[in-house]
Amino acid sequence: MLKTIPLLMKKFFAALLILLSTVVYGHFLLLLNEEKSDAVFLPILTFHHLRDYSSQNPKDLEYLYSFSPKKFEAFLQFFQDNGIETLTFFDLQEILKGKKSWPKKSVMLNFDDGFTDHYSVAFPLLKKYEKKATFFIISGKPSQDAGYANWEQLKEMVADGQEIAAHTVTHPNLPSLSESEIMAEISESKITIEEKLQTSVVSFAYPQGEYDNRSLETVADLFLFGRTTIPGKYFSEKKRYEIPAVIVPPTADIKLLEHWFPQS
Q: What is the pLDDT of residues 59-105, one digit of tens each?
A: 899 999 999 999 999 999 999 999 999 999 999 999 999 999 999 99
Q: In terms of Cα–Cα distance, which of 42, 76, 43, 52 is closest to 250?
A: 52
Alpha-carbon span 182 to 211, nearest angstrom: 10
Phi then psi for 203, rounded to 5 degrees? -130, 155
Q: What is the pLDDT of residues 153-168, one digit of tens each?
A: 999 999 999 999 999 9
Q: CB within 8 A of 28, min separation 6: which ones?
A: none
pLDDT at 37 (0 to 100):
53
What is the enclosing helix (H) or strand (E) of 69?
helix 69-81
Q: What is the pLDDT of residues 165-180, one digit of tens each?
A: 999 999 999 999 999 9
Which amino acid is located at 119 in the chain?
Y
Query: Taking the domains of the chain in order of start, what are their residue ranges?
Result: 8-40, 42-260
Q: Does domain 42-260 have CATH number 3.20.20.370?
A: yes
pLDDT at 8 (0 to 100):
47
